[in-house]
Structure 1
Amino acid sequence: MKTLGRLGVLLALTALIGLLPLVSGNDPALSVLRARISEREPDAAALASVRAELGLDAGPAGVLHHWLVRLVHGDLGTSWVSGEPVARQLVDAFGVSMTLTTAAAVVAVLVMAALVTRTLTRGLRGDATGDRGVVAAALAALPEFLIGSVLLLVAGVHLGWFPTSGWRDLGNAVLPAVALGTPAGAVLAVIAKDAVRNALAEPWVRSWEASGLRRRTSALAVVRRAASVASGQLGLLVAGMFGAAAVEVTFAVPGIGRLAVNAALAQDVPVVQACVLAILLVGVLAGALGTVVQRLLLGPALSDRALAAVAPQTSAPSRHPALVALPAIGTAIVAWGLSRDPYAVDLSARLLPPSAAHPMGTDAVGRDLLARVGHGAVHTAALAVSVTAAVIVIGLLVGLAAKRSSVVADIANALPPVVVALPVAAVAGPGWTGALTAVTSVAWAPLASHARSLAAEQRGSSLLTSVRALGATRMHVVRRHVLPALVPPVVRNGLARLPAVALAVASLGFLGLGSQPPEPEWGLLLAEGMPHFEAAPWTVLFPAAALISLGVGAACLASRLR
């Protein structure tokens, strides 16, 4: 029944996306005609011919009926633009995206291992010094397309180490896999660090050391316990990386994300339907596989209650002067930028480098970047913090209530925010409300999975068994034992994703579903600066530094939670 429920939700969402151009007031026949013959005038006779050919005269219900009938028979239809079978295009693009996603998952695991090793070795030595995870937070805050553009320019163009575009062999997968896997591995490292610290705090670790077991044996046991939490999140990250349109477009990779974007722009409904269905199926399968691996790694903790409770760490984090001064410096820069005009255009001052008059330089139309970064903090950071707070609360509530993965959570994790934003914008019109609703409606799923994993560990602990035997109520157990173990790691996970939330909101604005240019929004600043990165790197570096500062500040704040 659960599998049938997933399939039903997948088909309903895919049908909605496919029908969206037909019910949103746009004329798909006009887009198809222009895509086929760009120089031809869209006269009434030509449009009528296209509508008849595509079966649009039958209306949305007829189009949906024909698509479902073909799907049952294994036929994905033909492209409205090229006339080629959709299945052939999908198979080729699917193989490319699957190869790229697999390589990116390997990169993510390597990045996570590199960032977590220090925490594990210090913990086994008994060093309880606080670890703020600043490096992981900075990497997690880097946009994938920014990493990809820098790698393309440096490792591809200047050094010539790897191909810069296209897809001929595995060499073409190296740069996009690094761009895609690095921030994902950093997010995974934030979660794994918490899991390692919690495992090291369990009584059995000290018992094993006291009995004379080798440190290597204890380390492997701790890694397995931490992997039970990280594996579920890895499945969710893999689902999010599949069909990553931004990276595939940056490197001209003929994957499913790029195919979906091109089809959506041309309103090629059959191709959009097939791509969305494939992305959602892979997302659900990746999430389910991560859950299975998690249960295998957790093992007896789910049934025999043999493990002791996870003890939250109480050591005080270090107070590095630079980290303490970071919020004050950031606040001062934002205040300085707010005192300047972010919209003043001066074409005679285009792409000026940083100077006394323009401390961060100017953009392609002569606007002051300090002013735009400062005003963008109000738009980007404030909205991202609001969305992050909302998804943390939703994730905690769902994670506490659910004892196993749900269809809704799996589907929500597999959905890109733009897929949700499209129907919202079609009904309510583009704007911040629709963009925030779209991001919030999908961003809670990884946090709910994380909370559910931690709650499963708590339910299997001998401490809770003893507390219940002493007559403690369920509310007392949740309030005094379960929540203190869940809230800090889940909040740290949410704060690590805060820059990604900011970018998601910004990308929806760039697509016309949220903020519109010339709004001084950090994501839009990055998009506007990328074409000028080589000649005027400051147009990208300062907005990127703002996002990194947001991520590092969130990590510093999260490290205070114990």
Structure 2
Amino acid sequence: MKSLAKHTAGLTRCAGLLAVLAVVGLLPWLSHRDPALTVLRARSAEQEATEEALAAIRADLGLDAGPLSLLGRWAADLLHGDFGTSWVSGHDVLPSVIAGLQVSLGLMGAALGVAVLLAAALVTPVLVRGRGSAGAFAAMLAAVPEFLLATVALLVFGVWLGWLPTSGWQSVEYLVLPALALGVPAGGLLGRLVADALPAVLDERWAELWRGAGVSRARIAGAALRRVLPPLVPQFGMVAVGLTGGAVAVETVFAVPGIGRTALGAARSQDLPLLQGSVLALLLLGLVAGAVAAGVRHRLLGPSLRDAGLTLPPARPVRAHPAVPVVLAAVLLLTIGWGLLRDPYTVDTTVRLAAPSWSHPLGTDGLGRDVLARLGHGAASTVGTATAVCLLGLLIALVLGFAPGLAAGASDIANALPPVIVGILVAAAVGPGTGGAALAVALISWPALSAHAAALVQEVRASAFLTAQRAIGASPFWILTRHVLPSVAAPVARHALLRLPGIALALASLGFLGLGAQPPAPEWGLLLEESRAYVERAPWAALAPAVALALLAGLAVSGAALTQGRRVRRTTPAPVETKAKKEAPVGV
């Protein structure tokens, strides 16, 4: 059974990867715009777009040969190292992809260094004292979106203090702010994973025996880290994948000529050959990061433990005062409710970029629109869209929870694709918009819920009361609908609800990059992007959505911590292995 599950997961993984490659290769055919018109405008803006001229371009590009022929020719060229020719510049795509990739790899390397240093700072107190946790601080750092941190860093250190350059890529000092914006959330996540798992490991029997035998604290700390790292290495790979998605936003904020900014620019200009090459490079980075993580885990475990299913003792949950999520939710609801009472679309150029006042409590934007009104109405639409995405993810998880082998392979591909990359592909195919952003997030937001559902299904099916139901002649349909589904649906639904703020942040990041809601929609990410043009004159217009997004991230962390703490307190004592397996999916 185990080998069959692995075989199924491998087939699903290959099928998912081929499907993603097929979508990339068929972008010219899937595009909502006429590629021939894009090429014509790039070659000559004055030439009239007659049907004859467009037909000639389609024939030249091979766009009139059908989707299968288009995909086959693209794949054949790709195998020969030919990434095509840019429709806008007329130059080969491969040199542009390599140049952007070199810049992004340098930025990601510096960001990874920042992440490791921050993680070490969070882990060191636990190793020294033998107890403690990274706690809510690390969780908060991990929850802050890169685009938000990049905007705040640019505003504070670049604009207000003038310590560091705000855009470009010329010397080492231009690397500092982008590396910090990209590395701090990753470091917070790494530090929290390791620091939260260490106390339970240091309380294990072997550590007590070593301390009693007089083994040095440094040697025990090294052994504890070696015990902690193998089960966490796959999560480290996910952090590296997250860096590829975060790099798109950070490179955009700081005008870094990396592969992420190249992909985003190609999507906006409909330069599909350049977009195809850039997305392939980003996808390759994600897959390589996952493969390296798997190899490192394989190496750390050694031959004796590779098939042992090594797991960690359950990590201590992040502590949060019960009043914290209540206060954060109250502030957000009060702001949103106040904003919903005002008109977000009224333009008054006489009060453009006005400072906060009684008539405009959060000031006005570049067109004189009330920032508070746009903040309130933007929250309503964003939360509504995020709710729909969560419901869709819940349905997918409940279905795939009964097919763990199928879900495992597909989730590997979904985990290798950050929301920004999928958002770029969807925007290139159907155009930017709220629906496209929701589709992009929904396509990759289900693996954590699916893993949770699969674990619960396995646990419920193995329970004694189901054996009794089968013994008295209950039908499989009765057992499924009356026992298994109710036992699985409620916990997974709570898990999906906890992911609601994170989904809203992902939608806001796509709106910030121009891949989600379009002007004049009052969406939080879009508000932050629009305010960057005049951040020096009216910083309050940028601070309002930035603070709102930070409060949303805080609500996600504190709400999840409070719920997890209550669930752990209600859980009866169980053996270490069972408890670890039961707790793991919820924290994914």
TM-score calculated relative to the size of structure 2 = 0.75
Q: Which residue of 2 aligns with 1:139?
A: 141
Which range moved further: 531-540 or 210-219?
Answer: 210-219
Alignment deviations for residues 413-465 of structure 1 (CA, whole Å, 9 cap, x no partner): 2224355457767888876554333212213447778999xx8xxx9xxxx9x
Cα shift at 1:198:
4.1
For residues 337 and 227 of structure 2, the distance between their equivalents in structure 1, rounded to whole angstroms, comes to 45
Q: Which residue of 2 aligns with 1:503?
A: 505
Distance change >3 Å, CA 313–CA 399, structure 1 → 2: farther
Cα shift at 1:275:
1.8
Q: Which residue of 2 aligns with 1:285?
A: 288
Q: Which residue of 2 aligns with 1:64?
A: 71
For residues 266 and 79 of structure 1, the distance between their equivalents in structure 2, rounded to whole angstroms, comes to 11
Cα shift at 1:283:
0.9
Match of 1:14 among 13, 18, 21: 21
Alignment deviations for residues 135-172 of structure 1 (CA, whole Å, 9 cap, x no partner): 33443343323433444455456766555444345544
Q: Which residue of 2 aligns with 1:520?
A: 522
Match of 1:82 among 86, 89, 92: 89
Distance change >3 Å, CA 339–CA 218, structure 1 → 2: farther
Q: Which runs of 5+ in 1 are unaligned?
A: 465-470
Cα shift at 1:321:
6.2
SS in 1 for 2:528: helix
For residues 30 and 524 of structure 1, the distance between their equivalents in structure 2, rounded to whole angstroms, comes to 28
Matches for 1:12-411 after TM superposition, within 5 Å: 12-121=19-128, 124-125=130-131, 132-133=135-136, 135-152=137-154, 154-156=156-158, 162-200=164-202, 202-242=204-244, 244-298=247-301, 303=307, 310-311=313-314, 313=316, 317=319, 319=321, 325-381=327-383, 383-384=385-386, 387=389, 406-411=408-413
The alignment yields a C-alpha RMSD, in angstroms, of 4.3
Cα shift at 1:404:
12
For residues 352 and 118 of structure 1, the distance between their equivalents in structure 2, rounded to whole angstroms, comes to 47
Cα shift at 1:28:
0.8
Please tell me whether the aligned partners of residues 120 and 219 of structure 1 are also in contact (alpha carbons under 8 angstroms): yes
Please tell me whether the aligned partners of residues 143 and 557 of structure 2 are also in contact (alpha carbons under 8 angstroms): no
Distance change >3 Å, CA 394–CA 31, structure 1 → 2: same
One-letter identity of the residue aligned with 2:219? T
Distance change >3 Å, CA 21–CA 310, structure 1 → 2: same
For residues 415 and 301 of structure 2, the distance between their equivalents in structure 1, rounded to whole angstroms, comes to 22
Please tell me whether the aligned partners of residues 320 and 558 of structure 2 are also in contact (alpha carbons under 8 angstroms): no
SS in 2 for 1:58: coil
Cα shift at 1:183:
2.0
For residues 74 and 294 of structure 1, the distance between their equivalents in structure 2, rounded to whole angstroms, comes to 32
Q: Which residue of 2 aligns with 1:468?
A: none
Please tell me whether the aligned partners of residues 97 and 256 of structure 1 are also in contact (alpha carbons under 8 angstroms): yes
Distance change >3 Å, CA 115–CA 371, structure 1 → 2: farther
Matches for 1:441-460 after TM superposition, within 5 Å: 441-445=443-447
Distance change >3 Å, CA 294–CA 147, structure 1 → 2: same
Alignment deviations for residues 226-251 of structure 1 (CA, whole Å, 9 cap, x no partner): 33344222212212322632222222
One-letter identity of the residue aligned with 1:294? R
Cα shift at 1:44:
4.4
Cα shift at 1:536:
0.9
Which range moved further: 416-425 or 399-408?
Answer: 399-408
Which range moved further: 27-36 or 375-384?
Answer: 375-384
One-letter identity of the residue aligned with 1:371? A
TM-score calculated relative to the size of structure 1 = 0.78
Alignment deviations for residues 170-212 of structure 1 (CA, whole Å, 9 cap, x no partner): 5443322222122222233443343234434544444444554
Q: Which residue of 1 aligns with 2:531?
A: 529
One-letter identity of the residue aligned with 2:243? M
Please tell me whether the aligned partners of residues 386 and 503 of structure 2 are also in contact (alpha carbons under 8 angstroms): yes
One-letter identity of the residue aligned with 1:173? L
For residues 21 and 188 of structure 1, the distance between their equivalents in structure 2, rounded to whole angstroms, comes to 39
Which range moved further: 499-508 or 61-70?
Answer: 499-508
Equivalent pairs counted in the alignment come to 530
Q: Which residue of 1 aligns with 2:550?
A: 548
Q: Which runs of 5+ in 2 are unaligned?
A: 1-6, 468-482, 569-588
For residues 306 and 228 of structure 1, the distance between their equivalents in structure 2, rounded to whole angstroms, comes to 8
Alignment deviations for residues 360-404 of structure 1 (CA, whole Å, 9 cap, x no partner): 222222222223323333333454466468758977997997699
For residues 279 and 314 of structure 2, the distance between their equivalents in structure 1, rounded to whole angstroms, comes to 42
One-letter identity of the residue aligned with 1:13? V
For residues 207 and 421 of structure 2, the distance between their equivalents in structure 1, rounded to whole angstroms, comes to 46
For residues 227 and 370 of structure 1, the distance between their equivalents in structure 2, rounded to whole angstroms, comes to 46
One-letter identity of the residue aligned with 2:411? A
Identity of aligned residues (%): 47
